[in-house]
Structure 1
């Protein structure tokens, strides 16, 4: 019995501390121990997201995609070429809640105009965003070298490819520079099957996995993982008007509209690259 007395005393002390209220630092520790997946889920469910964007979650799988890339709410995150801000609507509340930093980088300034509109309409959600030029070409703000934990680009590598291989190589080189050692580059893009003509990369909106990997590895990245989260086996990849034949663009208008709606959004690769730690 005597050997158990210290345990009993410890239990009484623990109960007494609990009765008096937990220390402030313990409460803070518990708050910051929330799983990143929970924070991502909360950001995906943010009431500030537009209804039209939420409707596309079924194709874009944002919670699963961000979790696969290892995005954490306290990270310094860079979103490249955000377009209308589909992912910005998730990343802004995610980093705000976690004390992180979000850079949004695109051609200066036209590529950032729609993000500026969001900032003007909702400063509470988007006011802290850092705007930067990408690819950086001069005196405009840039993402500082070695500052980012994660760089994300969604359906953009094909846009860089339209400008030629040199432009694509430069984009990956600049991404490599902005990441910390050990940092992650997450890429989602429309997937061109490997047995199809590579020339289609210049006009179809689709990219071969091997091409994206080659550009990334040439810049110094290592492929760390890939996922079929955003795959769509219904996509035949062979449309006269390219990937924009499918929703949400539906460039054929009413022609075969139901057919393309049944296919859904494009087949996409989801690739995770890492900047080596040394």
Structure 2
């Protein structure tokens, strides 16, 4: 005898393994690997994001090692929203503010994709502001992620890294974190290659955050690539996705 299921019940049963996996990822003590796998397995992720997973895996793992369920996170310079969607799954019942400057949304026509992302993920809220004018949220951020765009902030008119970092400091709770990943230059290059090669000297970032009142919590080589000689633009096919990147974590004093 055949048993006919309603379409709603069938969909529920089909989705249950994924739901269980997501619940496991949000359980206390879930490993980074479990949480990352669940975040990447979400079926609403667009193809242009899933295509990036192989080259983003190390960065994703580093990021999620500092983010916990329930966190309120700012994704600064979120672009098309790859990290915003990753974070929205990783924070579970928490929330993500996905920030872009207006000129980014307009110049790169990212508005429709970002609106669709926010509609698909209710815990993602869109913020459109200058990098140094992010509104202070009603609930301070637990963490801020600045993923390979710190150098871009130096390409904005009147850029001042220290002033921007001080403004971000005001949006964080005491003890809150800022996680910075970016493409490295040769030592001593400063900010001379932020536009030409889209790279920045790690020392500039260290100095900026120290001057803004942050403490350095971690300086990781998890994303380092000694084979990158720092001479190529980060979009060059010979190095794209495999640049030498520094990974820093700063803490707002408690």
TM-score w.r.t. the length of structure 2 is 0.76
Q: Give the alignment of 1:9-28 within 5 angstroms.
A: none
- Structure 1 residue 208 displacement after superposition: 0.9
- Structure 1 residue 108 displacement after superposition: 3.3
- Structure 1 residue 115 displacement after superposition: 5.6
How many angstroms apart in 2 are the aligned matches of 1:172 and 1:121?
Answer: 27
Q: Give the alignment of 1:40-189 within 5 angstroms.
A: 40-60=36-56, 61-68=58-65, 70-95=66-91, 98-108=92-102, 110-111=104-105, 114=110, 116-120=112-116, 123=119, 125-132=120-127, 133-135=129-131, 137=133, 142-144=135-137, 147-163=140-156, 166-189=159-182
Q: Which residue of 2 aligns with 1:213?
A: 206
What RMSD over aligned residues (CA atoms) do the two structures have, in Å?
Answer: 2.9
Q: Which residue of 2 aligns with 1:254?
A: none
How many angstroms apart in 2 are the aligned matches of 1:213 and 1:164?
Answer: 22
- Structure 1 residue 222 displacement after superposition: 0.9
Matched, 1:265 2:242: yes
How many angstroms apart in 2 are the aligned matches of 1:120 and 1:227?
Answer: 34
- Structure 1 residue 143 displacement after superposition: 3.8
Moved more, 202-211 or 182-191: 202-211
Q: Which residue of 1 aligns with 2:9?
A: none
How many angstroms apart in 1 are the aligned matches of 2:165 and 2:139?
Answer: 14
- Structure 1 residue 131 displacement after superposition: 2.0
Listed one character per residue, the Cα deviations across residues 27-77 of structure 1 (whole Å, up to 9, x for unaligned) are x9xx74242623333112222223343333332224421233x10121001
Q: Which residue of 1 aligns with 2:4?
A: none
Larger Rg belongs to: 1
Listed one character per residue, the Cα deviations across residues 139-178 of structure 1 (whole Å, up to 9, x for unaligned) are xx82427700010011111111123774322221121111
What SS class does the counterpart of residue 165 from structure 2 fall into? Answer: helix
Task: Return 5+ residue gaps in structure 2 as ranges.
Answer: 1-22
- Structure 1 residue 195 displacement after superposition: 4.7
TM-score w.r.t. the length of structure 1 is 0.70
What SS class does the counterpart of residue 103 from structure 1 fall into? Answer: strand
How many angstroms apart in 2 are the aligned matches of 1:46 and 1:189?
Answer: 26
* Runs of 4+, deviation exceeding 4 Å: 195-198
Moved more, 126-135 or 213-222: 126-135
How many angstroms apart in 2 are the aligned matches of 1:111 and 1:36?
Answer: 35
| 1:44 and 1:62 in contact (8 A); partners too | no
| 1:206 and 1:243 in contact (8 A); partners too | yes
What SS class does the counterpart of residue 225 from structure 1 fall into? Answer: strand
Task: Return 5+ residue gaps in structure 1 as ranges.
Answer: 1-27, 247-259
* Residues 268 and 212 of structure 1, relative CA distance in 2, 3 Å threshold: same
